[in-house]
Structure 1
């Protein structure tokens, strides 16, 4: 099959930004770069993986979940997999990744495309060869399925413009958005959890980086706006994290209809109970404990954390909140997109 040319430009960031992110995020010791007109922010990586992801083979039997990080991705993956697999709760008693889902971008970090990943693998080889091999294996399995034959379940944090051009015309895609205030807080904890990032700055410093679009996968708003514009496509279901918090059963119905599945009343009740957030965060198969075992995650943070809407109020100062309100308003101009940053009632 002929490979499509990559349509986006790669640019190094300026020296001042590089110095700043290297100081705050040791995982960016190689520096950073931006991709495309919206200047998506990434570690300094080879260009080839981006070409490969853009040319990733798609099949109409595949199901994708696409999100910005920390917007309900894992919660949605579990819901989608169980609906697509007729509520096979026994089959779900294995790791979400890599056993059931592939993570499109993951191997390009784990397999040593930057010095941080290479250093982790090298140190692991010296200290514990078996652990290092497991780390390598996990990276490979999350990006490339055990069987190349569809159907596959694929997760990505890439914007649509950097994913295969025929993705939406070929596959069912669920896109999840979350209000940026809570997404920021969750992403801050995620940067402290992931050892290949190992964020060492304060919350205020992370807040500034987020609003300046200088955290990995940023900018937030163009990513969401791009998906929002495509929400009328028959193969795209656009949902909000806050919808799942307020009306989980209603979202399950929408996803079931989208995937062409019919749940019985008993299946619906069992799935709602399974996905209730207090139960979900205790589920060992979605909390990626094996990643802690191989040294990828900090012992001090949890992968599935609070899942609360409005938790940002425990972190933002009044000045931060005012700044972010302006930031959101400016970036939503010209759209009918809006976010719920507080909920009266949530599960």
Structure 2
């Protein structure tokens, strides 16, 4: 099926209509934040699921119950998805944990007024591309990616779900400095998960002892998350996600793009990246 059949255009970017119907987008627009809300904000395939495991464990002081009994889409729901409407989020006790893939410019009026806490996770766009390619191939509500060359052109042009990676990242790293944002890299979490948990906990005002940090990091190691049916998306019916084509949690590594890019594709990607990021002063781990 085509983009016109599967996607809607919302604030200038594609969103899959199946999971983002008009009523859920309206719900988000009218949503009221609290100052102690915690927002996990990512471009898709940048570490959202990982954060949806880490943050609830920090909030619960290392109690594993939330991540072993509640699906990640309910414990840290996407505010723009249809599921959010059903969850009585207004009644949830603080601190509430939410996820969104929205660009900075797409955030609602309440966000800019209240300025809740944000964890913005970034990942090497080449790995984002590679992970996205497999995801598009297994999810029925997304346009089939076609060949890797075809999908690369769409990715570089921002003609995919949630638009341009470049615009998304530039929008968030240039956000108002008064906003309460912690920038963290997927690569940083891979290199030192315990250190990352400690850094995130400190940002959230949580003082956790070393044993709790160790326990959280152990639960959030990729192989353990992959076995957790509340986190690995295996509960999603096969008609929507075909795990025989590709697992949702596939490899969880840094640099997998090197196993997939041809030399020509790497040169093409590098040229576009250099052009689109030429004025960015922010220091990325992969540069």
TM value normalised by structure 2? 0.88
Task: Give the paired residue count.
Answer: 281
- Please state if 1:217 is matched with 2:162: yes
Hey, what's the Cα distance between the residues in 1 that align with 2:100 and 2:178? 19
Change in Cα spacing, 1:333 to 1:194, as seen in structure 2 (3 Å) is same
Hey, what's the Cα distance between the residues in 1 that align with 2:179 and 2:90? 26
Q: Which of 142, 151, 154 pairs up with 1:206?
A: 151
Residue 121 of structure 2 corresponds to 176
Residue 67 of structure 1 corresponds to 42
CA deviations on 1:216-273 (whole Å, 9 max, x unpaired) are 1111111111111127335211111111111212211111011111111111111111
Instruction: Tell me the CA shift for residue 325 of structure 1.
Output: 0.7
Q: Which of 41, 45, 58 pairs up with 2:14?
A: 41
Structure 1 residue ranges without an equivalent (≥5) = 1-25, 108-139, 343-347
Moved more, 177-186 or 157-166: 157-166
Change in Cα spacing, 1:64 to 1:144, as seen in structure 2 (3 Å) is farther
Q: Which of 94, 101, 104 pairs up with 1:157?
A: 101
Instruction: Tell me the CA shift for residue 87 of structure 1.
Output: 1.0
Instruction: Tell me the CA shift for residue 286 of structure 1.
Output: 0.4
Instruction: Tell me the CA shift for residue 43 of structure 1.
Output: 5.2
Change in Cα spacing, 1:143 to 1:299, as seen in structure 2 (3 Å) is same
- Please state if 1:30 is matched with 2:5: yes
RMSD: 2.4
CA contact (8 A) 2:66 2:75 kept: no
- Please state if 1:244 is matched with 2:189: yes
Residue 326 of structure 1 corresponds to 271
CA contact (8 A) 1:66 1:158 kept: yes
Hey, what's the Cα distance between the residues in 1 that align with 2:108 and 2:179? 17
TM value normalised by structure 1? 0.74
Instruction: Tell me the CA shift for residue 185 of structure 1.
Output: 0.5
Hey, what's the Cα distance between the residues in 2 that align with 1:244 and 1:167? 27
Q: Which of 60, 66, 74 pairs up with 1:91?
A: 66
Q: Which is greater in Rg? A: 1
CA contact (8 A) 2:122 2:186 kept: yes
Change in Cα spacing, 1:144 to 1:207, as seen in structure 2 (3 Å) is same
CA contact (8 A) 1:68 1:157 kept: yes
CA deviations on 1:29-86 (whole Å, 9 max, x unpaired) are 52756555xx423457876654442332212232211110000001011101110111
Structure 2 residue ranges without an equivalent (≥5) = none
